[in-house]
Structure 1
Amino acid sequence: MGNPPDRRCDLDDLLEDVSGLVSPPEIIIRLRSALDAPGSTASSLAAIVAQDPNLSAQILRLANSAMYGLPQRVETVSRAIAVIGTRALYHLALAVTATHTFSRLPCELVNMAVFWRHSVFTALIAHDLAQRCNVLHPERLFVAGLLHDVGSLVLYGRHPDLLRETMLITRGCEPLLASHEREILGFDHADVGAELLTRWGLPESLRTAIRLHHQPDRALGTGLEATLVYLADMLSNRTEQGCFSEFGPRNEEIPDAIWECLGLDPEDGEDCRANVGWRFMETLTVILPQARY
């Protein structure tokens, strides 16, 4: 049997085909440049965000949401930066703008309401897990959890006829879905998402986490981020609100090595799921204010 065909050119072609639809908006590019500049200040970042009133309002709603539980209400972007930090502000802006951008992708095979519920639920669990593991800038994991499946929107939007049967026979089992995608195309939706988010400036650790979120054995060897996103995805799929499948929750086994790597146990996972539940709808309506859930 010969070697499998090289599908890399197909992945490049796929991304090139949607590059105009999913390119990062100018405000994210400017925020990233300002954040990396030596003379960057909170006021300079606030000035950039203030140029987009809708983005400013959504960031303030997130800063005032139960995700942070601040004792006093934050009224301005400058104050939000002072309270949550410049990098947290950037990651929240990234989460809001990326979600808005990807939600416009036409995709007849994916139930968009279910997709974004799963994405937001996973994001909140990833954020909580990161806090429990004392990960620096846990908002990074919120972003990775939120965007871990965006490759699906591209893949199933561009190849509906090729992948329609895959969606039907896997019945919402994500690892099996990714396996079928690799058999058909040579890559899966996680590969597409990771490459896509290179263009958004996500750091390598988060791109790797997205690429490996269905491959726990490989995730364990690449750092906490990949393991956290994998675990958040699995825990989300165990809930009615956050499951990826339209067929209901899936209680797939989580390897002991995952808990051991993070210094957590299944009770921590249950606590995270419970904590996310009462914050879920508030966060969903902030991230996607115009959507139908």
Structure 2
Amino acid sequence: MQLKDFIDKIEQLPTPDPVVQRIISIASDPNASAKDLADAMRLDPSLTAKVLRLVNSAYYGLPRKIAKLNEAIMILGFKTVRNLALSVFTYKSLTGSRNSKIDQLALWKHFVGVAVAGELLAHMLNYPNREEVFVAGLLHDLGKLALDYISPESFAAVAKVTKTLQISFFEAEAKLNIPQHTATGSLLAERWNLPEIVTQPISGHHDVKSFSDSVYADVVSMVHIADFVVNTFKFGDSYTYGGLKLSPDALNVLAIKPKMLTNYVDKLKERLATAEEFLSIDKAVEV
């Protein structure tokens, strides 16, 4: 399958519905109010119920239950609520392919793991845009979702090659002349009107060095490290069974020393344990 053919088929993929698109737009508008965001979300009661369930999960550790959307927005911020809405949409899209030949929930678990790992690393590094690192981690393998949706047989073939040859998914795609998930994922994210701080890590999380001069080299590096560690934990399944290496360039960009990396790994084990609600979004109460 050639990239041009794949790009044509990307048009068939689900895009965020008007409510989610409106949420993304409002969250990026510095003049928008919490009421604006709440009013947009209330147009989809099911989405609202699921977002409130995630707000009250152990991951955020709020001292009391939040029942009102306006309050959730004020406490967590616009971008975090946007991330929750994107999480719900992505989960729905990922698990909606009836012809899939893979364990979609295991892939989703990997998505969530990298989101959580990226946000934790951003916190430890005092990076200000932690919410963007979360969503970049959540969507870093968006191209795999696209491949599974467009051609489940091609996804299965790539997974077989990576397991047989013990190489990365990225390398297996190249061997089979299948468009690489980093490129297709970035194209899809652009179609969803997501900013470069999200699309660049999707493009570059397997090729940090090429993005070393980018204004978002730090975010690319954080997502790369998060992806590597989550893969070593075997938290979920990225369908990569070998060939992954921790880039020295990523460590250099972020000035991470071995002691900090060890501390990060220890903290991440605890943090992932709080992300259970993200793994079962479909269990949220419908209203």
TM-score, normalised relative to structure 2: 0.85
Say whether the 8 Å CA contact 1:237–1:251 is kept in structure 2: no
Q: Which ranges in structure 1 are unaligned for 5 or more consecutive residues?
A: none
1:229 aligns with 2:223: yes
Say whether the 8 Å CA contact 1:144–1:229 is kept in structure 2: yes
Provide closer, same or farther for how the CA distance between residues 81 and 175 of structure 1 changes in structure 2, counting only shifts above 3 A. farther
> In 2, distance between residues paired with 1:245 and 1:108?
14
Counterpart residue identity of residue 238, structure 1: T
1:254 aligns with 2:246: yes
1:118 pairs, out of 89, 94, 110, with 110
The corresponding residue for 1:280 is: 275
1:15 pairs, out of 10, 14, 19, with 10
Identical pairs, percent: 27
Provide closer, same or farther for how the CA distance between residues 172 and 119 of structure 1 changes in structure 2, counting only shifts above 3 A. farther
Say whether the 8 Å CA contact 2:231–2:238 is kept in structure 1: yes
The corresponding residue for 2:263 is: 268
Provide closer, same or farther for how the CA distance between residues 280 and 117 of structure 1 changes in structure 2, counting only shifts above 3 A. same
Deviation per CA, 1:187-218: give whole Å up to 9, x if none.
31121111111121211121110111222322
SS in 2 for 1:109: coil
1:136 aligns with 2:131: no
Say whether the 8 Å CA contact 1:166–1:177 is kept in structure 2: yes
Q: In the TM superposition, what are the counterparts of 1:40-189 in structure 2 within 5 Å?
A: 40-162=32-154, 164-171=156-163, 176-185=168-177, 187-189=179-181
Provide closer, same or farther for how the CA distance between residues 163 and 270 of structure 1 changes in structure 2, counting only shifts above 3 A. closer
> In 1, distance between residues paired with 2:111 and 2:99?
16
> In 2, distance between residues paired with 1:221 and 1:165?
35
> In 1, distance between residues paired with 2:106 and 2:165?
14
Shift of 1:107: 4.5
> In 2, distance between residues paired with 1:288 and 1:234?
27
SS in 1 for 2:199: helix
Say whether the 8 Å CA contact 1:88–1:137 is kept in structure 2: no
Deviation per CA, 1:17-48: give whole Å up to 9, x if none.
x24xx111110122233344564211121111
The corresponding residue for 2:190 is: 198
Counterpart residue identity of residue 100, structure 2: E
How large is the Cα RMSD of the aligned pairs? 2.7
103-112 vs 122-131, greater mean Cα deviation:
103-112
Counterpart residue identity of residue 75, structure 2: V
> In 2, distance between residues paired with 1:266 and 1:162?
36
Shift of 1:219: 4.1
100-109 vs 147-156, greater mean Cα deviation:
100-109
224-233 vs 167-176, greater mean Cα deviation:
167-176
Provide closer, same or farther for how the CA distance between residues 172 and 76 of structure 1 changes in structure 2, counting only shifts above 3 A. farther
Say whether the 8 Å CA contact 1:191–1:211 is kept in structure 2: yes
Between Structure 1 and Structure 2, how many residues are aligned?
A: 279
Instruction: Indicate the structure whose relative CO is greater, using CA pairs within 8 Å and at least 6 residues apart.
Output: 2
Counterpart residue identity of residue 279, structure 1: T
TM-score, normalised relative to structure 1: 0.83
> In 1, distance between residues paired with 2:239 and 2:10?
25
Counterpart residue identity of residue 43, structure 2: Q
> In 1, distance between residues paired with 2:131 and 2:154?
36
Deviation per CA, 1:107-142: give whole Å up to 9, x if none.
533221221111111111111111112222312222
